[in-house]
Amino acid sequence: MKKVSLIVQNEEGLHARPVTIFVNAASSFKSNITVIKNSNPDKVYVGKSIISLMSMAASKGDEITIIADGEDEESAVMNLQCVVEGGFSS
């Protein structure tokens, strides 16, 4: 299992477009991808589900932890970190 914690810098937070970009990137990996908001282990979101990530309602300044578990976990975490830090540009 690999994970990375990041601060959402996107002005509008994780709305439909950034979530779609994140899910498309996450779906390209075999690993299970989960996301936790603000270090709350009771709230785990499915990284390959638009509905799940939209329900997270992450805003600018929120911390998200991306967790990948599987055969390509390292590349998944690195790629998704780049997606978030790159401002969700497609």
Residues classed as catalytic? 15
* Token code pair at residue 20: 């779609």
With CA atoms as reference, report the closest residue to 7 among 90, 76, 66.
66
* Token code pair at residue 40: 């709350």
* Token code pair at residue 27: 């779906």
